[in-house]
Amino acid sequence: MIEVREWHEWPSAEAEAVAVQERLRSEVRFDGFPAEVRTAAGLDVAYGADDDEVIAAVTVLDLAELSVVDRSVVRSRVEFPYVPGLFAFREAPPLLAALTGLEVEPDVLVCDGQGLAHPRRFGLACHLGVLTDLPSVGVGKTALGRYDPPGPERGDRAPLLLDDEPVGAALRTRRAVKPVFVSVGHRCTLDEACELVLRLTPHYRLPETTRTADRLGRAEARGT
């Protein structure tokens, strides 16, 4: 069972949340990635009838078949306002609750969001990785920062820069299709993160982890 480190209270004020990010970002590690990744969890959040109801969906995939071997969903009310750069304080609590409901502990967490590609270098993937001490990767649909377009072929990548500092990569997962934006969350290097994302994208732009978690959350939102 996944254990969550209770390293901080969940604040309700913006200044307190920023202070938590500033304090915990030094806990991010770049070593400890598994020699062989057998399972990867996709984490995604959907919203219910109103923006105060959040549905946290987690799927665990067997990488050999890219098939779902476990899943967990948690519905809750958000307790933190919408503030750019502080999404983790809305979404991490229900995602952590969903993770603790899994029977299969994944080797890696793949978050629909940012890791080091964040104003304080501590996005959702970092936060979840540090609190669970599991390797984690952030895969964003849009860039937080600037980049030159990578080459057109699958696997081509270019540095993602924020404040002129490399924080991730624009990674081409499909030929001539818009890249995804990969950044380190915890216990991995950028090379390891990009290699994993390519394993998870044999047919589509987005990782199968993200796609399956998104479908699960949407189905729960519809009540199906």
Binding-site annotation: residue ranges for Mg(2+): 44, 112
DSSP state of 146: B
| Cα-based distances in Å from 66 to 35, 39, 70 | 18, 9, 12
Q: What whole-number distance in Å separates Cα of residue 19 and Cα of residue 10?
A: 11
Alpha-carbon torsion (178, 44, 5, 77), positive or negative: positive
3-state helix, strand, coil in the chain (%, to 5): 25, 25, 45
Q: Are the C-beta atoms of 120 and 92 separated by less than 8 Å? A: no
Q: Half-sphere exposure of 81 toward its Cβ, with a 13 Å CA cutoff?
A: 6
Q: Which residues are annotated as a binding site?
A: 44, 112
For residue 106, which of 224, 173, 200 has the smallest C-alpha distance?
200
Q: Are the C-beta atoms of 42 and 213 separated by less than 8 Å? A: yes
- What tokens were used for 152? 């057109």
Q: What whole-number distance in Å separates Cα of residue 1 and Cα of residue 192?
A: 25
